[in-house]
Amino acid sequence: MSMEVDKNRKKQPVSLAGLLDEDRPQPHSLETERAVLAAMLREPESCGTSAIEYLGNEDVFYSHVHREIFRTITTILADSGKVDLITVVHALNKKDVLEEVGGEIFLAELYSSIATTANFENWCGILKEHHILRGMINVCSESLRKCYEKDIEIAGLVDQIESDIYNVRNSNVKSDIVSIRESIRGVFENIQDILAKKVEVGLDSGYPDLNKLIVGLKPGEMFVLAARPSIGKTTFALNLIRNIALRGNSMRGVLFFSLEMTAEQIVRKLLCMEAEVSESSFYDGSFKEKDMSKLTRAVSFYRNANIFIDPTAGLTVPEMRAKARRLKTQHNIEMICIDYLQLMKAGMKVDGRQQEVAEISSGVKKLAKDLDVPVVVLAQLNREVEKTAGGSSRPKLSNLRESGAIEQDADIVAFLHRNRDEAKDMTREAMIAGLETELIIEKNRNGQTGIVYLSFHPHLGQFHSRSRYSDEDNPERE
């Protein structure tokens, strides 16, 4: 009989009402809350100001009575800085809440409830821990409720839950004020390490002239690479990925969101780029037997690469964040590339395409900051750039298609530019020699602007630097 009961119990669903019982007390310690308030009353200049800095606001307290007392003390400290038992009683009485918090007797008992303030920081730490636990309970409870709602957007819901959990976790991060005397030695040593090339400021792009302007692809930055169709922005992005992922023995992790091409197409382009074999040779009969050994070496070269490709079409911002966070945790990716921004979706209801692109752009920037990695995002230019002076006209920031928010959010905006009309009339020999291409750094929030001169070899899918350092530019090959 008992075994039958156990079987039935296993089949019963967990009661959501039981999990979300609002009458069930959440983690707290009233004794600790009273100790913190007592310390603030007894030593307002030290404990009072420290509590404001460390605890933030009254939400850290579980008891509404303690929240009111804390709010009153902090108000007095902000107004006059003169806090004692009498001024607090007067302020509470003036707000007509003195009896509600327990009256003068309660406050006198509160004042005398501790013998010393030596453990004040530990008490504050306990309050913060309980506050975080209550925050997690509230987030999880609200998430459970939303999961049972009808017509929910799954991707948006998952992203919101992840963001809420991140916010709760980060609420315990204390930002201390640092004296320059304490930090100047460490900063100076870091400068020395940078000058001695012991530390890397940003990821080496593989192009010396570009590195000179932007000082590498830096963590937390959004790098927008824009061009008109068929200029080669996807190919240039793949060159960056190859240079960063496989430079020397570093084997850095790179995540590539390809909204326009399949994973097979991307891998094929990378292999042909490395083997210096024209992709068209597979189809026009020009593939030579010796090229097979080149492809084989290219396969060996990429076999252990930490390059991850997501070919999801119509990718939404919430989906991108979830996938990137997972890859960052599992494989410590150090760069993200998105091809391309205008093919993404915001994942939420917005008024018009321009607003949607603005949401996408801000989402990409937030991802770069949250994961502390550079995010290279490709973007299309509008047709105005060609109406001005034909194929030779250089693009401007105003030519970014659909939204000025891209320009606002980006740390770096680069335009890939060449004269497409001239390329149409070039001989095969001239094409092999390379098409003159400009990478125009039009915006650089933390550095210089300028032009990087490149040679584009379409048949090989390669961009080479035209600087005098080009011989030292390519990543080492095994």
**According to DSSP H, which parts of 338-393 are helical?**
353-371, 384-389
Preceding peptide of 340 cis, ω within 30°: yes
Q: Which two tokens stand for residue 191?
A: 């400068």
Predicted local distance difference test score (pLDDT) of residue 255: 92
Of 20 and 216, the one with more pLDDT? 216
SS3 content of the chain, % helix, strand, coil (to 5): 55, 15, 35
Query: Residue ranges per domain, the chain?
Result: 30-170, 200-472
CB under 8 Å to 389, separation ≥6 — which residues?
Answer: none
User: Which residue reads 């790098």 in tokens?
Assistant: 223
Distance of CA 236 to the CA centre of its chain: 23
β-pair partners for 217: 203
β-pair partners for 400: 381
Q: At residue 76, what are phi and psi to the nearest 5 degrees? A: -65, -40
Q: Which two tokens stand for residue 395?
A: 């693009």
Q: Which two tokens stand for residue 371?
A: 């994961």
304 with 225: CB under 8 angstroms?
Answer: no
Q: For residue 367, which of 403, 314, 399, 328 has the smallest C-alpha distance?
A: 328
pLDDT (average), residues 396-418: 79
CATH fold of 200-472, please? Rossmann fold (3.40.50)
Please state, in angstroms and rounded to a whole number, the distance separating the CA atoms of residues 246 and 238: 12
User: Which residue reads 């995540």 in tokens?
Assistant: 255
333 with 323: CB under 8 angstroms?
Answer: no
Residue range 113-135, pLDDT digits in tens: 998 988 898 998 899 889 888 88
378 pLDDT tier (thresholds 50, 70, 90): very high
Q: For residue 353, which of 344, 364, 340 has the smallest C-alpha distance?
A: 344
On the question of pLDDT at 66 being above 90, the answer is yes
227 with 415: CB under 8 angstroms?
Answer: yes
Residue 253 falls in which region: left (phi positive, over 0), alpha (psi -120 to 50) or beta? beta
pLDDT (average), residues 193-198: 75
Residue range 353-366, pLDDT digits in tens: 778 888 888 888 88
> DSSP label at 476?
P
pTM surpassing 0.75? no
When mean pLDDT is compared across 17-21, 372-376, 425-429, the lowest value belongs to 17-21
CATH fold of 30-170, please? DNAb Helicase; Chain A (1.10.860)
pLDDT (average), residues 177-200: 74
Please state, in angstroms and rounded to a whole number, the distance separating the CA atoms of residues 229 and 153: 33
Please state, in angstroms and rounded to a whole number, the distance separating the CA atoms of residues 12 and 18: 13
> Can you give the C-alpha Rg of the chain in angstroms?
30
Preceding peptide of 469 cis, ω within 30°: no
Q: How many residues does this entry show for the chain? A: 478
